[in-house]
Structure 1
Amino acid sequence: MHQAELVSLDGVPLEAVVHSPQGQSSRGVVIQAHGINADMSEGGMFVRLAGRLADSGFAVLRFSFRGHGNSGGTQRGATIAGEMLDLQAAVEFMTARHEGPVTLVASSFGAVATSLSLPWLDDRLSQIVLWNPVLDLTHTFVDPQLPWGKENYSPEQQRLLHTQGFLVVDDEFELGRVLFEEFQHYRPRDYFVASSVPGLVVHGDRDSAVSYEIARSSAAARRNCDFYTVSGSDHGFDTRAREDEAIEVSIDWLTSNALGTQ
């Protein structure tokens, strides 16, 4: 594992680490996209996943989106458009240095930039894995239907957003007005469903933040997509055992698919 000098397309420096593949040749590239309140470790899950995949022969990039972790930018200035630039920079960085098929693993809000980038990534990707993906921004943020959204994006909170210009989400992330405005325009589910890149969606069926039903129906609506339920799990896979379950099923799926492409 070593630090990487990753810079986004508009010059924002991004915190990044590469896990080099074990063995003589790489089985491919895996790029990880974290959630809205996280960074490149994704609460430790991305670190463990990256280590396991590197041991299996993959070159893995973990990076923090702008405004997260030790990357440049600010929380209030973070946007979906900016995250799409960051993701493109990550893909170009890794494909310039490593050969083999490219896989994206995106957690929660990381699925937004990932899904919206699929039209230009489709012919470069071999597979995609989404954990608890945000696919409907209106359902999650604008007109929230689940407890986490109702707490953080209630009408009172949205009024506060307009007066002070940002909201503090979960007492840790300052979400800006521009990002919230983007929630009302982007439709990541449409892009995800339209893509034919082989996919796996892993989701807890007790998710109180992001809709399990929307994820399941979206997976069913697209071609070449498997769906795995982590039974009893809230958002983010709420115990170490459930985290390990999500990691294990993802590794099994990724390695079996990689074998199929060799």
Structure 2
Amino acid sequence: MPTERFTFPGHGGHDLSARLDLPDGPHLATALMAHCFTCGKDIPAARRISARLAAMGFAVLRFDFTGLGHSGGEFENTSFTSNVSDLLAAADALKARGMAPALLIGHSLGGAAVLRGAGRIDSVKAVATIGAPFDPGHVTHNFGDALDRIAADGVGEVNLGGRPVRIGQHFVEDVKAENIAPAISKLNKALLILHAPRDEIVGIENATQIFVAAKHPKSFVTLDGADHLVSRAEDAEYAADVIAAWVGRYVDLRPPAPPPGAPEGITRVSEAGPDGFLQDIQAGPFHHAYADEPLSYGGTNRGMTPYQFLAAGLGACTSMTIRMYARRKKWPLDHVAVDVTHNRMHGQDAAGPAMPLDHFTRAITLSGDLDTDQRLRLLEIADKCPVHKSLEQSAKISTELVQVEEAALT
């Protein structure tokens, strides 16, 4: 996905560093992400979710709050209120580009910030939170003994995740006084709450409180086994999948209609990560699948292999072609099933130079009150399938008709 880097002025006039991930195809909608407390825009969970949404047609803006990452200003002079102001400034920067956000995503304290600020962004139709606290003051529980030093000196150093961070007394007072319950009850946006039951930083009871305070439409999905930062790749992928599946109900992602006779468009394949072989496959905004290799070949077995996709394309095209012909003839075809076997193994072929001739075997089951001539004609029609024609230029395809009685016994 192409990425654009730019800056925009935050609440105090300091330049905030932003990354705008753009879709490869048409720009259908815009999402704005707010990261977790003292994190940055480039944590793995944010990157994974952004990549998944960009594949659907979203432009996704991630930015560093004042004093964090590559943004200007001093973090010790910020507060929860200023974080919300930075979020609103980011929304204004997008609007100025003609890309007003339709989706807000907030992680941890960033989740509380999007709940607090969403009502002030008219373009937003949906809000998703990950590990968000119901009480923003909850974050001060992580400051430990430093609270006394902060109160005495006005600022103090806190160790968060092995990193020293300077926290100001204004932040402590502001976040303790914050109450986002009224904002949640008046949200008037679709809400998705993602939370890990064993989150040791922000307990699962926070998700329950947010859910109870919100009005419908609202959804609550458990991130079983995830930690607060959603640091494992499989947890980030699951969160990305859930958000992607959910948001299409509330944000219009219909691409512009192509002109008559135009090709089907781009099928985008991109690595889910540099480890293993898991691939994201996106065809348009709504159609997503995973490709992978078996565990024995270094994959995670979370999707079909490339050869299995090839076989699936042949089987689907065969079934559709038979159905179209039977429908046109008004024949009593009740159901079509196509079992495709391929003589190759992708992981093995990728490791060696030997490339035997491809051989696909199709076993076609036709259910319905069809006579023998009709069944034989539909078997002939199977060879008219466009994918069959494409493959037979360099592959051998054998086709057989399965008797319904025989298929029922298998």
| TM-score bucket (shorter structure) | 0.7 to 0.9
TM-score normalised according to structure 2 size: 0.57
Query: 1:190: how far off?
Result: 3.0
- 1:160 counterpart = 2:149: yes
Give a deviation string over 1:192-221, Cα, whole Å, max 9, x none. Answer: 233120010100000111121121232133
TM-score in terms of structure 1 length: 0.87
Contact conserved, 1:108 with 1:132, CA < 8 A, in 2?
yes
Residue in structure 1 matched with residue 109 of structure 2 by the alignment:
109
2:6–2:18 Cα contact (<8 Å) kept: yes
- What is the aligned partner in structure 1 of residue 7 from structure 2? 5
Judging changes above 3 Å, is the alpha-carbon distance between structure 1 residues 192 and 261 closer, same or farther for their aligned structure 2 residues?
A: farther
Higher strand fraction: Structure 1 or Structure 2? 2
State the SS of the aligned residue for 1:15.
strand
Query: Aligned partners of 2:171 and 2:194: how far apart in 1?
Result: 26
Q: 2:205 aligns to what? A: 213
- Cα deviations by residue, 1:106-131 (Å, 9 ceiling, x for unpaired): 0001123222223322x321100100
Farther-moved stretch of structure 1 (180-189 vs 102-111) = 180-189
CA contact (8 A) 1:193 1:222 kept: yes
Provide the C-alpha distance between the structure 2 equivalents of 1:141 and 1:28, rounded to a whole number of angstroms: 32
The alpha carbon displacement at 1:259 in A equals 4.3
Structure 2: which amino acid aligns with 1:168? V
Deviations 1:120-150 (A, max 9, x none): 22x3211001000022134x145xxxxxx3x
Q: Tell me whether 195-204 or 240-249 shows the greater mean CA deviation.
A: 240-249
> What residue ranges of structure 1 are gaps of 5+ in the alignment?
143-148
Larger radius of gyration: 2
C-alpha distance in structure 2 between counterparts of 1:213 and 1:10, whole Å: 34
Identity rate, percent: 23
Shift of 1:226: 0.4
Q: In structure 1, how many angstroms separate the alpha carbons of the residues matched to 2:231 and 2:12?
A: 36
Q: Distance in 2 between matches of 1:220 and 1:141?
A: 21
Counterpart-to-counterpart distance in 1, 2:100 and 2:178: 31
Show structure 1 runs of 4+ deviating over 6 A: none
Code of the residue aligned with 2:146 in structure 1: it is: Q
Q: Any idea what SS the aligned residue of 1:167 has? A: strand
C-alpha root-mean-square deviation of aligned residues, in Å?
A: 2.1
In the alignment, the residues of structure 1 paired with residue 230 and residue 69 of structure 2 have an alpha-carbon distance, to the nearest angstrom, of 21
1:33 and 1:96, CA in 2 relative to 1: closer, same or farther beyond 3 A?
same
Within the alignment, does 1:180 sit opposite 2:179 as a pair? no
Q: CA deviation at 1:176?
A: 1.6
Query: Is the contact between residue 27 and residue 101 of structure 1 (CA under 8 Å) also seen in structure 2?
Result: no
1:51 maps to amino acid: A
Counterparts of 2:220 and 2:86, CA distance in 1 = 27
Deviation at 1:235, TM superposition (A): 1.2
Alpha carbons 2:192, 2:219 under 8 Å: kept? yes
The aligned counterpart of 1:200 is 192
Contact 1:111/1:135 (<8 A) preserved: no
SS of the counterpart of 1:237? coil
Q: Alpha carbons of 1:137 and 1:84: their partners in 2 closer, same or farther (altered >3 Å)?
A: closer
In structure 2, C-alpha distance between the alignment counterparts of 1:101 and 1:15, rounded to whole Å: 18
- Alignment partners' CA distance in 2, 1:130 and 1:232: 17
Q: CA deviation at 1:46?
A: 1.3
- Residue matched to 2:32: 31
Amino acid at match of 1:205: P
Counterpart residue identity of residue 224, structure 2? S
Secondary structure of residue in 2 paired with 1:76:
helix
Tell whether the 8 Å contact from 1:21 to 1:57 is kept in structure 2 after alignment.
Answer: yes
Instruction: Give, in whole Å, the separation in 2 of the partners of 1:169 and 1:66.
Output: 19
Label 1:212 to 1:115 Cα distance change in 2 as closer, same or farther (>3 A): same
Structure 1 partner of 2:304 = none
| Secondary structure of the structure 2 residue equivalent to 1:10 | coil
Unaligned runs of 5+ in 2: 256-410
Q: Which amino acid aligns with 1:113?
A: A
Shift of 1:95: 1.8
Structure 2: how far apart are the matches of 1:113 and 1:69?
Answer: 18
Q: SS of 1:82's equivalent?
A: helix
Q: Which has the higher contact order (CA 8 A, sep 6+)?
A: 1
Deviation at 1:70, TM superposition (A): 0.7
Q: What is the CA-CA distance between 1:251 and the residue it aligns to? A: 1.6
Asked whether the equivalents of residues 195 and 204 of structure 2 are also in contact (C-alpha less than 8 Å), the reply is yes
**Partner of 1:88: helix, strand, or coil?**
helix
CA contact (8 A) 2:115 2:127 kept: no
Residue matched to 1:145: none
Q: For the Cα contact (< 8 Å) 1:32–1:62, is it kept in 2?
A: yes
> 1:3·1:18 contact (CA, 8 Å) conserved in 2?
yes
Tell me the CA shift for residue 58 of structure 1: 0.9
Aligned pair count reads 249
Contact 1:202 1:228 in 2 (8 A): yes
**Could you say which structure has the higher helix fraction?**
1
